[in-house]
Structure 1
Amino acid sequence: MKSHTEHLTMNVPARMGFVNITHQVAQAVAKSGIQEGMVLVNAMHITASVFINDDETGLHQDYVQWLEKLAPFNEDPTVYHHNRTGEDNADAHMKRQIMGREVVVAITKGELDFGPWEQIFYGEFDGRRAKKVLIKVIGE
């Protein structure tokens, strides 16, 4: 069994945003030379996410609105206990929990083996600084 590891550095200038990273993951798979296996894509920060969905701007805006209803940004420490530590990003931790930490995609004949419309996204919920994403390809 072989493995290949790469890291992406993400720096989303907005507090919240979604970046399609499918192309970078596909490049890592190609570079690995692995024909049959899996790729793990993991957000290596507790206020960011990796998820799979459709690359459609209306859907992304729906996610933003939905997440803000579920865990609205509020830096007031009387609203979120976490913000009593001097942070202002308790909502970002909750948004990450909802959207997920990582995805695993099958590799078949050296390609990402997706269903229709599936793409891989990095989700940022407390942006404006560099964060890492792990790409780990495993297989033969």
Structure 2
Amino acid sequence: MTFKTFTKELTFKTKKRVEIVDITSQVEQAVEDSGIQEGIMLVNPMHITASVMVQDHESGLWKDIIRVLSELVPYDESSETYKHHLSGEDNADSHIKRQLCGRSVSMAITNGKIHAGPWEAIQYFEFDGKRKKRVLIKIIGM
């Protein structure tokens, strides 16, 4: 067998500043399109105010995650709260939320499918949305 790589970018624009988007089906399609049967996949947001995570696809849980993150790191335009805002930006909370949630996920590909648990879904967590964003899918294997 020959070692292969496959790259795909997802592009979308969230309707809200903070939003969770399930991208599992698009990632599964990328795995299928890659033709790779055994390997590793990276799913990575191309923006520093977003995260990709593996989580249950359940709207109540999503609301809980957003609520807890908002309580821990509230949105506030004041430079008294966030020194980053002295640069002219107003999204310091989004950068911090990304640090708390992590950047990307890597998962195994087995028999041409994402090797995931029964409740695992891949989600894009947007913390500074309402504009065009990208997610990289990189798959390597055989």
TM-score range, shorter chain: over 0.9
Measure the CA separation in 2 of the matches of 1:65 and 1:25: 27
- Equivalent residue in structure 1 for 2:107, among 84, 90, 105: 105
CA offsets per residue over residues 112-135 of structure 1, 9 Å max, x none?
000120000000000010111000
Structure 1 ranges of 4+ moved more than 3 A: none
* 1:76 positional shift: 0.6
Q: What's the counterpart of residue 36 of structure 1? A: 38
**SS class of match (1:60):** helix
Identity over the aligned pairs, expressed in percent?
54
* 1:13 positional shift: 1.4
* 1:40 positional shift: 0.3
CA offsets per residue over residues 82-103 of structure 1, 9 Å max, x none?
0111100000001111111100
Q: What's the counterpart of residue 121 of structure 2? A: 119
Which residue identity does 2:61 align to in structure 1?
Answer: L
* 1:10 positional shift: 2.2
Q: How does 1:1-140 map to 2 (within 5 A)?
A: 1-140=3-142
The Cα RMSD (Å) is: 0.6
Measure the CA separation in 1 of the matches of 2:13 and 2:102: 19
Measure the CA separation in 1 of the matches of 2:43 and 2:128: 19
Gaps in structure 2 of 5+ consecutive residues:
none
TM-score normalised to structure 2 length: 0.97
Gaps in structure 1 of 5+ consecutive residues:
none
Measure the CA separation in 2 of the matches of 1:64 and 1:80: 20
Measure the CA separation in 2 of the matches of 1:73 and 1:10: 23
Work out the number of aligned pairs and report it: 140
